[in-house]
Chain A
């Protein structure tokens, strides 16, 4: 975090949806920053608000049912409440998105090449011929064999991994400075997932863009991101570099996530240590700390604090938890880490 304004800065973001049952607080006071050339991982379970945050950044929410508050500054430009015309200039040009399901994100009616060329023509005013050459070049960069031929294929003629590559090519065609990848590999097999994650990393080294990688898989972020934000029930509960968060996690929820995942080297005789219960409803989140009904450390904090007072996430490295950082470290080293062996 430098003294100058960061490339992307989200401050006190609130996203609420009006539904028949009441107001869903999908994002409940979120702040983070991201510099150029860095990758931020956002992990959380379904309903934690990780995808909604990023739809809000790009203004892709439905304005009729969604209420957004807070500040989203991209390279000094305010995006919350910006007119659609301004957002259109940002989307696909300065900031682009890669979606989880490449089959629904690509249109089946147009060739892959045309879909890659379209944002390029729109934002740079290139001719049809120039845009087509650019599409071939992009397909080549993401490793599609025979790009000059494949550019005229339709999405259904591509395999799952190739479609994901094509979508990355489409997102990168205007050299965006911010790339948001929402579960980019969840629908893919592990061998293809490894290819795509490596590719994203290598492309970032070439272009120096900032990347937000959204995923539910802590394994995926381990080798891909620089900084990590763990979200629970619409709030960030832990933040730090990926080494800090995965090497010495502080929040009981992060401990729970790590304990829930079997590893290739873990002791098979030991049962997993899952988080009890289920994520809360965002219609009526629990008072105090939203994680307290599932948390094993409530007694360690003592009193009613967890049930009544909402812990705040400190700036920089830290966790939104009433345990003192010393207690967090002690509990992790003494009780949690031995179980993760």
Chain B
């Protein structure tokens, strides 16, 4: 497919949309989903604390990555930022306007500027609509008539995303997964948005197709200067796409910073554990065939115990403490604030009482998994581990 994005008409420079300026600011953003139960009268018996007190800033024209494991609240965050969900608490400010609880009518102008790309390219396109109708839908809803007409604009957009303008009258089922995701991208671009929230846009695609779509999104982001919130669980993909990255765990941001801060100088133990758990084929690339198997010597090896705790009853204090090898009493009683740790660069914040040294090279292994400890014959005393 095309390597280069052919640019649609240049947008007019918005006075408050200059690159680097805060575009979207979230403060103390919280979403609790109530759980009801009981008989005969249903009442609220608890809440899933999906997102709990999130502070983040997305600057104009930047790509902001959100990583974390399933259930950490990254998708909920994306839906809150686009106001598809109503926040329980906190504030969302878009270009200086508080849109936290803005109504449908009030939101309408912002909805055109904030678009979304969804994970499932099969479920997110209406099977009864032609590609032309799908991509022109946003223009129709917003009553926008671009010069030259909607159809010409759609054909231009299809070309931008690497499809053929002749695909205008086809239906989604005639396309492969990767092509459908391109249609989704074209639809998101239709209104020349300032911000696109992409929720796992490539994880449903095959490896070889994933790379095509990642390249397309990168070109779109860079050449059109659109700010992106890129939500994904794949750390390598997020690194490749994002200038700034936030790591989430159980509804909170545990670390945020520039790409290299997070991937080369992480401070939070969870970020270390996540990075060390990524299996990499490239580890074998440099070692000659028939080596001794120590390909991973320079990379960390941290094996956490158990799974992420339930967001219904998250651990007290630091939410990561139940799986952390550094946890002490303080971690159970006091929640660590998201701060710049000593030795971290500006804009690199982490939420840990006992931050790790800023490097990903490690000489000792950390293995908390009881089955692995047994299998590998570790006999020394257990590290502090409150899991299960």
Let me know if B279 and A217 touch, CB within 8 A: yes
Provide the A190-226 mask, 1 if CB < 8 A to any CB of B, else 0.
1111110111001101100000000011111111100
Query: Which residues on the B side are within 8 Å of A256 (C-beta)?
Result: 208
Cα A278 to Cα B85 with chains together (Å): 36
Given A206-B375, A243-B284, A243-B287: A260 touches B211 (CB 8 Å cut-off): yes
Given A222-B284, A278-B176: A202 touches B376 (CB 8 Å cut-off): yes
Min distance, Cβ A331 to any Cβ of chain B, angstroms = 16
Let me know if B371 and A165 touch, CB within 8 A: yes
Q: Which residues of B contact A (CB under 8 A)?
A: 1, 3, 69-70, 176, 178-179, 206-212, 214-215, 218-219, 233, 235-237, 239-240, 259, 263, 273-291, 295-296, 303-308, 369-372, 374-376, 387-388
Min distance, Cβ B73 to any Cβ of chain A, angstroms = 14
Provide the A146-173 mask, 1 if CB < 8 A to any CB of B, else 0.
1000000000000111100100000000
Let me know if B240 and A246 touch, CB within 8 A: no
Let me know if A191 and B296 touch, CB within 8 A: no
Let me know if A271 and B239 touch, CB within 8 A: no
A241 within 8 A of B: yes
Let me know if B375 and A246 touch, CB within 8 A: no
A79 within 8 A of B: no
Let me know if B284 and A272 touch, CB within 8 A: no
Which one of A142, A159, A248, A276 lies within 8 Å of B371 (CB-CB)?
A: A142
Tell me how many residue pairs across A and B have CB atoms closer than 8 Å: 177
Provide the A5-49 mask, 1 if CB < 8 A to any CB of B, else 0.
000000000000000000000000000000000000000011000
Which one of A199, A220, A247 lies within 8 Å of B285 (CB-CB)?
A: A247
Apart from A219-B280, A260-B211, list 9 A-B contacts with CB within 8 A: A190-B278, A195-B372, A198-B369, A202-B372, A222-B279, A222-B295, A244-B289, A247-B287, A274-B212
Let me know if A191 and B69 touch, CB within 8 A: yes
Let me know if B284 and A199 touch, CB within 8 A: no
Cα A110 to Cα B274 with chains together (Å): 34
A3 within 8 A of B: no
Q: Which residues of A contact B (CB under 8 A)?
A: 45-46, 141-143, 145-146, 159-162, 165, 189-195, 197-199, 202-203, 205-206, 216-224, 241-244, 246-248, 256-266, 268, 271-276, 278-279, 337, 340
Let me know if B278 and A243 touch, CB within 8 A: no
Main secondary structure of the interface of A (DSSP, over half): helix
Query: Which residues on the B side are within 8 Å of A274 (C-beta)?
Result: 208-212, 215
Cα A191 to Cα B3 with chains together (Å): 34
Query: Which residues on the B side are within 8 Å of A275 (C-beta)?
Result: 208, 211
Let me know if A191 and B240 touch, CB within 8 A: no
Given A262-B214, A274-B209, A278-B178: A190 touches B277 (CB 8 Å cut-off): yes
Most chain A beta-carbon contacts within 10 A, residue among B233, B259, B289, B387? B289
Cα A145 to Cα B376 with chains together (Å): 17
Considering the complex, give the chain B residue whose CB is closest to the CB of A206: B375
Let me know if A264 and B236 touch, CB within 8 A: yes
Which one of B70, B206, B236 lies within 8 Å of A216 (CB-CB)?
A: B206
Considering the complex, give the chain B residue whose CB is closest to the CB of A144: B371
Given A143-B372, A274-B215: A190 touches B235 (CB 8 Å cut-off): yes
22 A–B contacts from the bound complex (CB under 8 Å): A143-B370, A146-B388, A189-B233, A189-B307, A192-B69, A195-B305, A198-B303, A217-B207, A221-B281, A243-B291, A247-B288, A259-B211, A261-B211, A264-B235, A268-B239, A268-B259, A271-B215, A271-B219, A274-B211, A274-B215, A276-B212, A279-B206
Query: Which residues on the B side are within 8 Å of A219 (C-beta)?
Result: 278-281
Query: Which residues on the B side are within 8 Å of A223 (C-beta)?
Result: 279, 283, 295-296
Considering the complex, give the chain A residue whose CB is closest to the CB of B68: A189
5 closest Cβ contacts across the A-B interface? A143-B371, A274-B211, A202-B375, A219-B279, A260-B211
Let me know if B372 and A198 touch, CB within 8 A: yes
Query: Which residues on the B side are within 8 Å of A242 (C-beta)?
Result: 284
Let me know if B207 and A257 touch, CB within 8 A: yes
Considering the complex, give the chain B residue whose CB is closest to the CB of A203: B375
Query: Which residues on the A side are within 8 Å of B239 (C-beta)?
Result: 262, 264, 268
Which one of B3, B208, B209, B278 lies within 8 Å of A271 (CB-CB)?
A: B3
Given A194-B279, A198-B303, A199-B371: A246 touches B285 (CB 8 Å cut-off): yes
Let me know if B307 and A161 touch, CB within 8 A: yes
Cα A223 to Cα B293 with chains together (Å): 9
Let me know if B289 and A199 touch, CB within 8 A: no
Given A45-B206, A216-B206: A261 touches B279 (CB 8 Å cut-off): no
